[in-house]
Structure 1
């Protein structure tokens, strides 16, 4: 894989509110809700299975206390592999960033805030950032 796309891959995997995929997030295999025609190519499953759940390629899952990513093996099936050192560093940085953002959005100093207060603070921060951008 081209190294310049690696950060994009990790960020796309981790961009939302959670830093990584949790075990409950995969699609359950037995419930009939998976459109298998999208994930099977010439008889090979394009994704990974863990604990009777399907995860698409690029998913990062913490297995045995270490993050693993779903990659395409040489036989065109999904397999869980360890993250490289660079990927592991990006993964840790992303988790720290997410935790910092979570903390900033739910606390003022040491005091927790409710959802309405968090929305107001988030709005004020964005308005300030927008005003600063307009000035400079």
Structure 2
């Protein structure tokens, strides 16, 4: 599993600091080659997507077995943009009712009620069939 999910933009909080002595480097270094990418003194696993200065890059394995940042293909870029829009819509839906912002407890209650409704609808559909 990547340190940073493949379709989610990588952020500095999810990266591993290279000076961290507790990180199991033996899992990502193979015969002197780093199986991942480094940016700003942080390690990102293969498949991680980093968005900085509006330039999305994906960590891929180069021919020398070191990770390197490469441009996303056209299809990957479209998928990433679609995913970001969906995440923003979900975030907006989870933190607002109409134009009014809600607090964390209200958001938690609404998520719970939506999940209960979804499960009830799924159970009802299953029972009909």
Sort the TM-score into its range (normalised by shorter chain).
0.7 to 0.9
**What is the match of residue 113 of structure 2?**
124
Q: So what's the TM-score if we normalise by structure 2?
A: 0.88
**What is the match of residue 30 of structure 2?**
41
Match for 2:60 among 65, 71, 77? 71
Counting only pairs closer than 5 Å after superposition, residues 1-136 of structure 1 correspond to structure 2 as 12-14=5-7, 19-136=8-125
Q: Distance in 2 between the 1:85 and 1:56 partners? A: 22
CA RMSD of aligned residues (A): 1.5
8 Å contact kept, 1:13–1:58: yes
Q: So what's the TM-score if we normalise by structure 1?
A: 0.84
Count residues with an aligned counterpart: 122
Q: Distance in 1 between the 2:31 and 2:48 partners? A: 22
Q: Distance in 2 between the 1:65 and 1:58 partners? A: 18
The C-alpha deviation readout for 1:9-53, integer Å capped at 9, x for no partner, is 9xx523xxxx31113421111232322111111111101110011
User: What's the secondary structure of 1:74's corresponding residue?
Assistant: coil
1:98 deviates by 0.5
Higher CA-based Rg? 2
- Unaligned runs of 5+ residues in structure 2 are none
8 Å contact kept, 1:26–1:53: yes
Q: Which moved more, 1:117-126 or 1:76-85?
A: 117-126
